[in-house]
A and B are shown apart, each in its own frame.
Chain A
Amino acid sequence: SAVISQKPSRDICQRGTSLTIQCQVDSQVTMMFWYRQQPGQSLTLIATANQGSEATYESGFVIDKFPISRPNLTFSTLTVSNMSPEDSSIYLCSVEGPGGGGYNEQFFGPGTRLTVL
């Protein structure tokens, strides 16, 4: 199984500032995924981050707002830029990897709870 850590676990930020969220995995993975969960909503995929290439963004998300880095196979960052209160969400990173049953599972980080004032 994959163990994922995220920093920070939570933050309160002012409108117009930016926050970079770090995601560290204890094993090498090809693809890392970044999700957003707005209050009371389900998770939504922001982008997929492959090591050595540009991140692939889902409809409604753009690189200028959510720049992503993927410098190696165990680490990624997501930046939430020029924040507004609408960006208040839980941000989660995720990977797919071998599970205990001999098949792939999705593993999720603990999430970063962001509040924008």
Chain B
Amino acid sequence: KNEVEQSPQNLTAQEGEFITINCSYSVGISALHWLQQHPGGGIVSLFMLSSGKKKHGRLIATINIQEKHSSLHITASHPRDSAVYICAVSRRGGGGGADGLTFGKGTHLIIQP
């Protein structure tokens, strides 16, 4: 079982719809990240969360530490939101000594006009 699971893997929606992407994790974390990757490969950090909720424009990210679950919401979706959305965690007390991220497989989002 992967340490970071995302759902759905693929999502196609119409412009204007409310989008929800879910992320569950099974390890202790110090923070959870939502990232956006466009077809050219570039990755942009959207949010870094350790508790509660954050909002940036049409994007909202929430995390429930007790349930080990986070959601990314997009309101009033637009075709330019089409990308791969990746959930990643910073592990707490990583045994390997490295503090890099552990990634989910990503959600491929397509917003149709």
Binding site for B on A (CB under 8 A): 31, 33, 35, 37, 41-45, 47-48, 56-59, 90, 92, 94, 96, 99, 101, 103-108, 110-111, 113
Contact = CB atoms under 8 A, between A and B. Distances in A.
Given A106-B33, A106-B35, A45 B45 contact: no
Which of A35, A45, A56, A92 gathers the greatest number of chain B CB atoms within 10 Å?
Answer: A45
Contacts of A43: 86, 88, 101, 103
A12 B104 CA distance: 28
Interface string B14-48: 00000000000000000001010000111111001
Interface string B45-66: 1001000001010000000000
A104 B45 CA distance: 10
Contacts of B88: 43, 106
The 6 A-B pairs at the shortest CB distance, nearest first, are namely A45-B100, A48-B98, A108-B43, A33-B100, A42-B103, A105-B45
A41 B105 contact: yes
Given A105-B45, A108-B35, 10 more contacts: A45-B101, A45-B102, A48-B99, A57-B98, A94-B100, A94-B101, A99-B45, A101-B56, A110-B41, A111-B42
Interface residues of B, number: 24
Contacts of B100: 33, 35, 45, 48, 58, 94
Interface of B: 33, 35, 40-45, 48, 54, 56, 86, 88, 96-106
29 contacts: A33-B98, A33-B101, A37-B41, A42-B86, A42-B103, A42-B106, A43-B86, A43-B88, A43-B103, A45-B98, A45-B100, A47-B98, A48-B97, A48-B100, A57-B96, A58-B98, A58-B100, A94-B101, A103-B48, A106-B33, A106-B45, A107-B45, A108-B42, A108-B43, A108-B44, A110-B41, A110-B42, A111-B41, A113-B41
- Which secondary structure dominates where chain A touches chain B? strand
Given A58-B96, A99-B48, A106 B42 contact: no
